Amino acid sequence: MSKKVRVRFAPSPTGGLHIGGVRTALYNYLYAKKHHGDFILRIEDTDQNRYVEGAEDYIVNALAWCGLTFDESPKKGGDYGPYRQSERKAIYLEYAEKLVELGKAYYAFDTTEELAEQRKELESSGRTFIYNSKNRQALSNSLSMTEEEFKSKRSSGANYVIRFLTPEDETIELYDSVRGSMQIDSNILDDKVLFKSDGMPTYHLANIVDDHLMKITHVIRGEEWLPSLALHKQLYDAFGWDTPEFSHLPLILKPTGKGKLSKRDGEKGGFPIFPISWKDSIGYREAGYFPEAVINFLALLGWNPGTEQELFSLDQLVEVFSIERVHSAGARFNLDKTKWMNQQYMQIYDEKQLGEAFAKELYSQPKGMLSKFSIDYIVNVVTLIKERAVFISDFWELSNYFFIAPLKYNSKAIKKQWKPDTAAILKQSIDIFQEVREFNSEAVETDIKSWIANQNLSLGKVMPPLRLVLVGDMKGPHIFDVIALIGKNETISRIETAIKKLG
């Protein structure tokens, strides 16, 4: 590539950032970093009617949580700012009028009421109203007016818009790196408004002008913008500018595979669609997902590496990512796969970090007694139980017996494991626990199993009941790891308590 790669993520601050938007940002980031280029954030806030307070900060914070950092942005600055369109609005009229001078655009004075009447009239006969070469000469614009009429209209202060002059009877050649070559008949296109009567540009004009001035080389955006590609290509050609390479990403589909994933799908299915919480909607962060897992599963929604590998760090994704392996078909959201991904990251996540996160939950318990456990103890507990966890919020259910002795015992396990001689056998085991010199998992296991063998007992006579009285259920990691961690005194105390309760 001769030019330095420059890509941009250009959201509108109209609400929370859907995970589809996060994936678009991710693919832009990966492409830029793969080619040692720049990743830019531009806020497209020309539609002030839909602007939502706090949405811009939310977008920045959400992407930061995902590990996506910008080389240029409204807050970071850069050589091609400002990076908010509302701060650039003074430049757009100049470019709209430039197109008029080049004969590629024109002024239109049609009122909303006049256009509504035209639309109603055509729809009554089963036709569709399109403002283009088929009817523009019969409408109120600078093409249908004499020079005197036009000057009079302008001097009267009448509201106007500037529309793109779509050519008649032309075949527009398009190329998208995901979908290949396409051809569009210009006669099916309308003359889009480029500059509005309120003095603000439309998305189409502002987008093209900003991309050109910011030297954007590759436009990677969602499939919903594919219908705009013909206009955008024509605008580049009209200005005589180099056209960037376009890539339109596939939709993220509902879990059923039918239709675009929406907020309602998340509410109905009980899963997040925002990276971090927005308004009353919980985010992946608050639901307990690791950012690395979110980035990993989003990367695989619409792209594949061409191998069987499924777990990738962000740096590894940068190394292997390519636009050529992005699918053109929609990618179905799979909740089970996202949970599986989070569980895989649980296994490789730093245990001290997991322990510290769990400790915050434990230390905030109203019982207060949990604060007596050291962070080292909690980390050791996490090490033993994390392979069964999907989220940190699962830790308490999986490990509460490490902190609090069982208050009750699984009734089905009692019927199956507690025999007439169980209490006597466990009472004898107390002496063995008392005599173990180095109270670690290996030493305790050796001594207990030697005692079992010497007494001609079976493991089934001792080990299941022992787990029941220590844990309260037939669950948990290797029982001797549990014994070593809760310690000699607690082990003996729990056996004695169970003998009294279950007799």
Amino acid at the residue 475: K
Residue 221 is inside which H or E element, if any? Answer: strand 218-222
What is the structure's pLDDT at 85?
92
Residues 275 and 58: their CA atoms lie apart, in Å, by: 10
pLDDT band at 49 (very low <50, low <70, confident <90, very high): confident
3-class DSSP assignment, residue 468: helix
Active site residue 4: no
Indicate the pTM of the whole model: 0.92
Which CATH code, of 3.40.50.1970, 1.10.10.350, 3.30.70.260, 3.40.1350.10, is assigned to 411-502?
1.10.10.350
Ramachandran angles phi, psi of 362, nearest 5°:
-65, -45
Domain 6-76+205-251 annotated CATH 3.40.50.720: no
Show me where the domains of the chain are located.
6-76+205-251, 91-195, 263-347, 350-400, 411-502
pLDDT band at 326 (very low <50, low <70, confident <90, very high): very high
Q: Is the pLDDT of residue 215 over 80?
A: yes
Residue whose entry in the numeric block shows the structure tokens 């790196």: 177
Ramachandran angles phi, psi of 397, nearest 5°:
-60, -35
Neighbours of 200 (CB within 10 A): 17
Residues 205 and 199: their CA atoms lie apart, in Å, by: 13
Chain segment 112-159, per-residue pLDDT in tens? 999 999 999 999 999 999 999 999 999 999 999 999 999 999 999 999
- CA angle 279/282/283 to nearest 5° reads 105
Residues 351 and 275: their CA atoms lie apart, in Å, by: 23
Mean pLDDT to the nearest integer, 85-91: 91
Q: Residue 377: name the closest of 217, 258, 486, 261 by CA.
A: 486
What is the structure's pLDDT at 70?
97
Amino acid at the residue 283: G
What is the structure's pLDDT at 370?
72
3-class DSSP assignment, residue 205: helix
What is the structure's pLDDT at 355?
96
Ramachandran angles phi, psi of 291, nearest 5°:
-60, -35
CB-based burial, 342-357: b 16+ in 10 Å, e otherwise: bbbbbeebeeeebbeb
Residues 343 and 452: their CA atoms lie apart, in Å, by: 37
Residue whose entry in the numeric block shows the structure tokens 């500037």: 162
Pair of tokens at residue 483: 């014994």
Using alpha carbons, list the distances in angstroms from residue 464 to 28, 35, 323, 458, 459.
Answer: 55, 58, 55, 11, 8
| Whether the Cβ atoms of residue 265 and residue 335 lie closer than 8 Å to each other | no
Mean pLDDT to the nearest integer, 439-461: 96
Asked if the domains 6-76+205-251 and 411-502 are classified in one and the same CATH topology, the answer is no
Residue 17 CA, distance from chain mean position: 8
- Of the residues 76, 263, 339, 449, only one is catalytic, namely 263
Residues 61 and 123: their CA atoms lie apart, in Å, by: 46
Q: Is the pLDDT of residue 444 over 80?
A: yes
Mean pLDDT to the nearest integer, 466-492: 97
Q: Residue 206: name the closest of 324, 87, 372, 354 by CA.
A: 87
Residues 229 and 64: their CA atoms lie apart, in Å, by: 30
3-class DSSP assignment, residue 7: strand
Chain segment 265-295, per-residue pLDDT in tens? 999 999 999 999 999 999 999 999 999 999 9
Chain segment 330-352, per-residue pLDDT in tens? 999 999 999 999 999 999 999 99
Chain segment 192-201, per-residue pLDDT in tens? 999 999 988 9
| Whether the Cβ atoms of residue 222 and residue 20 lie closer than 8 Å to each other | yes
pLDDT band at 368 (very low <50, low <70, confident <90, very high): low
Dihedral, CA of residue 338, residue 341, residue 346 and residue 349, to nearest 10: -120
CATH architecture classification, 263-347: Orthogonal Bundle (1.10)
Q: Which residues contact 349 (CB under 8 A, 6 or more apart)?
A: 290, 386
pLDDT band at 402 (very low <50, low <70, confident <90, very high): very high
| Whether the Cβ atoms of residue 192 and residue 231 lie closer than 8 Å to each other | yes
What is the structure's pLDDT at 365?
67
Residues 149 and 228: their CA atoms lie apart, in Å, by: 33
- Name the CATH superfamily housing domain 91-195: Glutamyl-tRNA Synthetase; Domain 3 (3.90.800.10)
Q: Is the pLDDT of residue 499 over 70?
A: yes
What mean pLDDT value characterizes the chain? 95
Ramachandran angles phi, psi of 105, nearest 5°:
-155, 170
Q: Is the pLDDT of residue 48 over 80?
A: no
| Whether the Cβ atoms of residue 252 and residue 261 lie closer than 8 Å to each other | yes
| Whether the Cβ atoms of residue 233 and residue 261 lie closer than 8 Å to each other | no
pLDDT band at 177 (very low <50, low <70, confident <90, very high): very high
Query: Before 82, cis peptide (omega within 30)?
Result: yes
| Whether the Cβ atoms of residue 465 and residue 422 lie closer than 8 Å to each other | yes
| Whether the Cβ atoms of residue 143 and residue 180 lie closer than 8 Å to each other | no
What is the structure's pLDDT at 77?
97
Q: Is the pLDDT of residue 44 over 80?
A: yes
Residue whose entry in the numeric block shows the structure tokens 């699962």: 394
Residues 204 and 364: their CA atoms lie apart, in Å, by: 52
pLDDT band at 367 (very low <50, low <70, confident <90, very high): low
